[in-house]
């Protein structure tokens, strides 16, 4: 039990109930027992362990900052970055691959190891 009761300044009704507590507890009603409990303690164990709605605030904050980050990324893509370089086009990549095959770059384990030069196609 705690050293100090939750309610320190008792009203006249609570003082009378505390005097009645000194007698037999079988004479007390259920409401009086609850009132005595509330004088001594603030909450029950179930009330103490009851969940809160704080998770909604945290989830809302996380989603807000994720949305803000997405808006910043979209803004950067639109206003800060230039167009995609021409070296990413399909024609450039195929020409680069063909040039690597013609130069026989890394013939042991690299890209030319997977090319069949006799049939002029990729090995199966």
Q: Tens of pLDDT along the chain (124 residues)? A: 567 888 888 899 988 988 888 888 888 999 999 988 888 888 888 888 998 999 999 999 999 999 999 999 999 999 999 888 999 999 999 999 999 999 999 888 888 899 999 998 999 8
CA distance 70 to 114: 41
pTM, 2 dp: 0.46
In our burial notation (b when 16+ CB lie closer than 10 A, e otherwise), range 19-42 reads eebeeeeeebeeeeeebbeebebe
Angle, vertex CA 59, rays to CA 54 and CA 62, nearest 5: 130
């Amino acid at each position: 039990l705690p050293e100090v009761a939750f309610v320190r300044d008792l009203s006249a009704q609570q003082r009378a109930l505390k005097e009645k507590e000194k007698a037999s507890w079988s004479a007390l009603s259920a409401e009086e027992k609850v009132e005595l409990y509330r004088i001594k303690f603030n909450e029950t164990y179930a009330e103490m362990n009851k969940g809160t709605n704080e998770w909604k605030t945290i989830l809302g904050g996380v989603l807000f900052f994720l949305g803000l980050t997405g808006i910043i990324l979209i803004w950067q893509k639109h206003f800060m970055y230039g167009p995609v370089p021409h070296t990413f086009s399909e024609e450039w990549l195929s020409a680069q691959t063909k040039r690597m095959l013609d130069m026989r770059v890394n013939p042991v384990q690299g890209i030319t190891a997977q090319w069949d030069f006799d049939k002029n196609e990729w090995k199966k």
